[in-house]
Amino acid sequence: MLEIEEKWREKKEVLGMKLISASLTSGKILDETKTVTRRVGWWNLIPGTKLCVVDRVMGFKKGEKPTRLKVIEVISVRAEPLNHITQEDVVKEGFPGWTTKQFVSFFCEKMKCKPTLMVNRIEFKYVGEPV
């Protein structure tokens, strides 16, 4: 496991960008219907940063590696309570048929958190296919 992590750490340096996982929303990334993500962390991210979106970043068996999906560029970053999400942002998150309550419930279930958790809202644009 450590060997795989080391190889990907080297690869990230070659690409010059960090990997960000979209394990729960990879289809929305591939069809580019998602332009906002909420994260627990990523507090030092700044606008202009390019990231390589991958299907996952953990849980690899020997010889497995992440699948690179898209390259994105961060447009804006701000901290806000999860339960302050707007209906417009639910759509930008890639869930046009969901209510804000449904999104918050989904997020809390997956991230094991409370609706009042301070999250990092990251807006981005697609800038290319991964190398």
CA distances to 8, 22, 52, 127 from 11, rounded to whole Å, are 5, 18, 11, 19
Domain that holds residue 55: 2-80+118-128
Query: Has residue 56 been placed in a domain?
Result: yes
pLDDT at 131: 62
pLDDT score for 71:
94
What pLDDT is attached to residue 8?
A: 46
- Predicted confidence at residue 14, as pLDDT, reads 35
Number of domains in the chain: 1
Predicted confidence pLDDT, tens digits, the chain (131 residues)? 444 444 544 444 335 789 899 989 999 999 999 999 999 999 999 999 999 999 876 666 787 787 889 999 999 999 999 999 999 999 999 999 999 999 999 999 999 999 999 999 999 999 977 76
Q: Is residue 95 part of a domain?
A: no
Inside any domain, residue 106: no
CATH number, domain of 34, equals 2.30.130.30
pTM for the structure as a whole:
0.84
